[in-house]
Amino acid sequence: MPSEMPALDKNDLGKGSFTQYKYGLSPNNGRVRLRLAGSNPYQDTLREIVESGAGPLETAISRRSQQQDAEDAPIEVRLFTGSRVSGPVGWVPRGLESIVDEALSRLDIKGRKQRIPVEIIRKGGLYRVELKMGETR
């Protein structure tokens, strides 16, 4: 995992808020989503995934190690597309890494795969990756 997030376009900063989560960083409801930052450079990869019709899509990430957490390392996201793992498709927005770490932990405690469901949407002519955080409750 790279230790530095690349510079991002102002329209590619991702989207998410702590106000959508309860104590313990559990999503308020099943509709809560988190949009990844830094997807602009990966438009070709996202187009290939959408055109291939692969599904259902899930994240291919793991919890940050203590060292990565201490360094406040960004989380690069890849996707499981059927039986293979895609190239990078974006980054968890800065400051929201703990939400993703807690979701992965919650899934592990429940005995489920540590994969967050994903939807690729088209917004402003570009593909964006949204993590379906509400489905990790």
Strand ranges (DSSP E) for 48-83?
57-59, 76-81
Cα first-last separation, the chain? 27
Torsion (CA) 83, 50, 96, 37 in degrees, nearest 10: 130
Question: What is residue 19's predicted lDDT score, i.e. its pLDDT?
Answer: 93
pLDDT of residue 20: 94
Q: What is the pLDDT of residue 3?
A: 53
Task: Please tell me the predicted confidence (pLDDT) of residue 112.
Answer: 93
pLDDT of 71 reads: 72
**pLDDT value, residue 137:** 87
| Spatial CA neighbour of 59 closest among 122, 2, 104 | 104
CA distance 119 to 56: 9
| Two tokens, residue 135 | 């489905």
Mean pLDDT of each 10-residue bin along the chain, 137 residues long: 66 91 91 95 94 87 78 86 89 92 92 94 93 93
Query: What's the gap between Cα 59 and its chain centre?
Result: 6
Per DSSP (E only), the strands in the chain are 34-35, 57-59, 76-81, 84-91, 117-123, 126-131
Q: What single DSSP character describes residue 100?
A: H
The confidence score (pLDDT) of residue 49 equals 92
